[in-house]
């Protein structure tokens, strides 16, 4: 029983309570405590990651109830990587929010932020399907609050769609969990995998249906075709740090597919083995094509970034759908890259929107923005990384995914989808960059925005917090320089993901703490 197995979940909850209590002490205190808490969380999660790479999966039994009867938290290499990734992204988003004063636009930003981290870390570390549902609800409720933070018509409309859709998703989740419990009689993931292996032929249909219903639920979270339409609206209309943090939210869906479906329908499952794989692969390919077209058709930068992020998610789905250890390693490599760069992309889009005054980030001719060289420079780096051009890590990730797909039967379609969509994304981002930075109006000329003439560009641009963008973008360079090292790490994670026996053994053989007062109780 190690501290590392529950501290990543417990710490944000405690910080949220402290931040809430600090309200009476003033906003500055709330802000300082919250930022410090995220920083400490990064350290805690980095430590957990090291533990996860040293030891086999570690299990924490809540309330000393052993699996499969109690709820367990599982720290393995995959969950440790995901929590560390979350906290790194959160640190950058928080720094940007503090420097740009976004957190002052409404109340309780920091409390919601910490609760969001609590929900995310919990969802990554839980070993129980119903507990996954509970953590999903925690992170969703916090995300509703963050999405609507600051208010405004468009935010409210996007938020209403987002909330209603996710409530339908939650209902489907419960239906699937109920059906699985009705047949398997357990909700512990490792125990469910054991039960699926010994399933009678009559019950296989129900378990398959429930499993695919779960895929639908995770598809909503991961924005998989045809369930992606909420994403561009929601991400384009919320504030930049929140959108950046939401880059990890879609990855929760991917993670859940890897974890739940990978374990439930693993090699041991007989006829049910890998039944979700063709769905994930083909829906991923369709999503990728539609995301690339959506990026071309976008009318403003933030919407385009949302579609570019959607493209990266669908590349991940394709990687999962190829279904091999090599592909899983490539997918995880691309996941680390795309999460952090997508976060940077949303922050850049917000700064560009501020710099263009009334024209905002719409793709129309406007006056040159202040700090155009700096903004254009980081936009170019981010666009190269996001579209997957060499020499940055997006190229590396896509190359790894494609090389892992070489032996796959549908290699042609995977190759065609990834390469054509990459080309379309490059065209879309190049068009955006040239429109925003090169195609500028002369100083004396006016342009019209919503029927009103605008003759002046903003004099200055508040670039405070740009360091968090640069920090996130530097990951694209670090991932390339130590690509071999990182690929070895993701390979190790992939090996552990596919090693079902080890996971089941660790979870089901966890020992409880001996009670020293046992005699007294009896």
Partner 1 sequence: MEWLISIAIGIMTAAGVILTLRARTFPVVLGLTLLAYAVNVFLFTMGRLNSGIPAVINDVQTQYTDPLPQALVLTAIVIAFGMTAFLIVLALKARSELGNDHVDGIHLAKDEESLKETVPPRQASQSAGGKF
Least CB distance to partner 1 at residue 148 (A): 7
Going by their DSSP bridges, the two strands 440-441 and 366-367 should be labelled as parallel
Burial class (CB in 10 A: 0-12, 13-18, 19+), 181: middle
Burial class (CB in 10 A: 0-12, 13-18, 19+), 200: exposed
* Distance (Å, whole) CA 233 – CA 244: 14
Which phi-psi region, left, alpha or beta, contains residue 239 (left: φ > 0; alpha: ψ -120 to 50)? beta
Least CB distance to partner 1 at residue 296 (A): 24
Closer residue to partner 1, CB minimum distance, 39 or 144? 144
* Distance (Å, whole) CA 317 – CA 222: 9
Q: How far is CA 260 from CA 197, 217, 436, in A?
A: 15, 12, 43
Q: Spell out a b/e string for 301-318, using b for 16 or more CB atoms within 10 Å of the CB, else e.
A: bbbbbbbbbbbbbbbbbb
Kindly state whether residue 170 participates in binding partner 1, applying the rule CB under 8 A. Answer: yes
Among 29, 53, 175, 282, binds partner 1 (CB under 8 A): 175
Angle between helices 483-498 and 500-508 (to 10 degrees): 60
* Distance (Å, whole) CA 303 – CA 234: 9
Least CB distance to partner 1 at residue 178 (A): 4
The interface region with partner 1, picked from 176-184, 256-264, 474-482, 507-515 by CB under 8 A, is: 176-184
Residues 443 to 462 in contact with partner 1, rule: CB under 8 A: 452
Closer residue to partner 1, CB minimum distance, 33 or 140? 140
Residues 187 to 226 in contact with partner 1, rule: CB under 8 A: 187
Least CB distance to partner 1 at residue 188 (A): 11
The interface region with partner 1, picked from 53-61, 72-80, 167-175, 430-438 by CB under 8 A, is: 167-175
Q: How far is CA 204 from CA 60, 190, 212, in A?
A: 31, 18, 12
Is the CB of residue 32 less than 8 Å from the CB of residue 19?
no
Least CB distance to partner 1 at residue 167 (A): 5
Instruction: Give the number of residues in contact with partner 1, rule: CB under 8 A.
Output: 29
Closer residue to partner 1, CB minimum distance, 226 or 278? 226
Least CB distance to partner 1 at residue 327 (A): 35
Least CB distance to partner 1 at residue 311 (A): 26
Least CB distance to partner 1 at residue 153 (A): 5
Among 78, 177, 199, 249, binds partner 1 (CB under 8 A): 177
Closer residue to partner 1, CB minimum distance, 151 or 377? 151
Kindly state whether residue 107 participates in binding partner 1, applying the rule CB under 8 A. Answer: no
Closer residue to partner 1, CB minimum distance, 17 or 160? 160
Cα four-point dihedral sign 370, 375, 377, 380: negative
* Stretch (H or E) spanning 416: helix 411-433
Phi, psi of 126 (to 5 degrees): -75, 150
The interface region with partner 1, picked from 12-20, 73-81, 177-185, 298-306 by CB under 8 A, is: 177-185
Residues 266 to 285 in contact with partner 1, rule: CB under 8 A: none
Is the CB of residue 140 less than 8 Å from the CB of residue 230?
no
Closer residue to partner 1, CB minimum distance, 151 or 278? 151
Among 26, 178, 377, 391, binds partner 1 (CB under 8 A): 178
Kindly state whether residue 12 participates in binding partner 1, applying the rule CB under 8 A. Answer: no
DSSP 108: -
Least CB distance to partner 1 at residue 145 (A): 9
Least CB distance to partner 1 at residue 367 (A): 18
Least CB distance to partner 1 at residue 164 (A): 6
* Stretch (H or E) spanning 115: helix 109-125
Angle between helices 189-197 and 153-184 (to 10 degrees): 50
Which of helix, strand or coil describes residue 58?
A: strand
Is the CB of residue 273 less than 8 Å from the CB of residue 263?
no
Least CB distance to partner 1 at residue 172 (A): 8
Is the CB of residue 289 less than 8 Å from the CB of residue 421?
yes
Cα four-point dihedral sign 207, 213, 216, 220: negative
Closer residue to partner 1, CB minimum distance, 28 or 452? 452
Bond preceding residue 395 cis, omega within 30 of 0: no
Closer residue to partner 1, CB minimum distance, 2 or 167? 167
The mark string for 127-166 relative to partner 1 (x by CB under 8 A, - otherwise) is: ---x---x--x---x--x---x--xxx--xx-xxx-xx--
Among 182, 226, 377, 391, binds partner 1 (CB under 8 A): 182
* Residues making contact with partner 1 (CB under 8 A): 130, 134, 137, 141, 144, 148, 151-153, 156-157, 159-161, 163-164, 167-168, 170-171, 174-175, 177-179, 181-182, 187, 452
């Amino acid at each position: 029983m190690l501290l590392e197995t529950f501290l990543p979940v417990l710490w944000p909850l405690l910080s949220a309570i402290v931040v809430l209590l600090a309200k009476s002490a003033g906003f500055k205190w709330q802000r300082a405590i919250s930022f410090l808490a995220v920083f400490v969380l990064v350290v805690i999660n980095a430590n957990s990651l090291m533990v996860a790479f040293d030891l086999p999966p570690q299990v924490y039994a809540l309330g000393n109830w052993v699996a499969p009867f109690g709820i367990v938290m599982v720290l393995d290499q995959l969950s440790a990587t995901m929590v560390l990734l979350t906290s790194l992204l959160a640190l950058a988003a928080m720094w940007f929010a503090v420097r740009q004063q976004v957190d002052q636009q409404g109340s309780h930003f920091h409390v919601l932020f910490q609760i969001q981290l609590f929900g995310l870390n919990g969802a990554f570390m839980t070993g129980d399907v119903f507990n996954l549902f509970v953590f999903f609800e925690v992170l969703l409720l916090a995300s509703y609050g963050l999405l609507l933070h600051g208010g405004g018509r468009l935010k409210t409309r996007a938020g209403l769609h987002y909330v209603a859709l996710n409530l339908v998703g939650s209902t489907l989740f419960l239906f699937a969990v109920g059906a699985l419990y009705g047949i398997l009689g357990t909700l512990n993931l490792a125990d469910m995998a054991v039960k699926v292996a010994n399933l009678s032929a009559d019950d296989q249909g129900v378990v398959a249906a429930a499993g695919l219903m779960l895929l639908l639920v995770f598809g909503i979270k991961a924005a998989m075709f045809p369930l992606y339409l909420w994403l561009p609206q929601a991400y384009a209309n919320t504030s930049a740090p929140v959108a950046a943090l939401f880059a990890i939210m879609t990855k929760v869906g991917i993670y859940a597919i890897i974890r739940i479906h990978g374990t439930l329908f693993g090699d041991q499952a007989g006829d049910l083995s890998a039944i979700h794989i063709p769905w994930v692969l083909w829906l991923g390919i369709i999503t990728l094509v539609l995301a690339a077209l959506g990026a071309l058709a976008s009318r403003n930068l933030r919407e385009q970034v949302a579609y570019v992020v959607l493209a990266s998610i669908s590349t991940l789905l394709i990687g999962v759908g190829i279904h091999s250890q090599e592909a899983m390693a490539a997918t995880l490599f691309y996941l680390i890259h795309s999460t952090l760069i997508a976060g940077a992309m949303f922050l850049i889009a917000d700064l560009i929107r501020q710099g263009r005054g009334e024209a905002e980030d719409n793709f129309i001719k406007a006056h040159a923005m202040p700090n155009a060289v700096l903004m254009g420079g980081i936009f170019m780096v981010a666009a190269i990384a996001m579209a997957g051009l060499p020499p940055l890590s997006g190229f590396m990730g896509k190359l790894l995914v494609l090389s892992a797909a070489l032996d796959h039967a549908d290699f042609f379609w995977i190759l065609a989808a990834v390469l054509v969509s990459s080309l379309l994304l490059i065209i879309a981002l190049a068009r955006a960059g040239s429109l925003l930075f090169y195609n500028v109006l002369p100083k004396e000329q006016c342009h019209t925005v919503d029927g009103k003439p605008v003759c002046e560009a903003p004099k200055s641009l508040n670039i405070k917090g740009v360091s968090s963008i640069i920090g996130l973008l530097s990951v694209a360079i670090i991932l390339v320089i130590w690509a071999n090292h990182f690929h070895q790490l993701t390979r190790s994670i992939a090996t552990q993901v596919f090693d079902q026996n080890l996971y089941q053994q660790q979870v089901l053989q966890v020992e409880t703490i001996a009670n020293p007062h046992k005699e007294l109780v009896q």
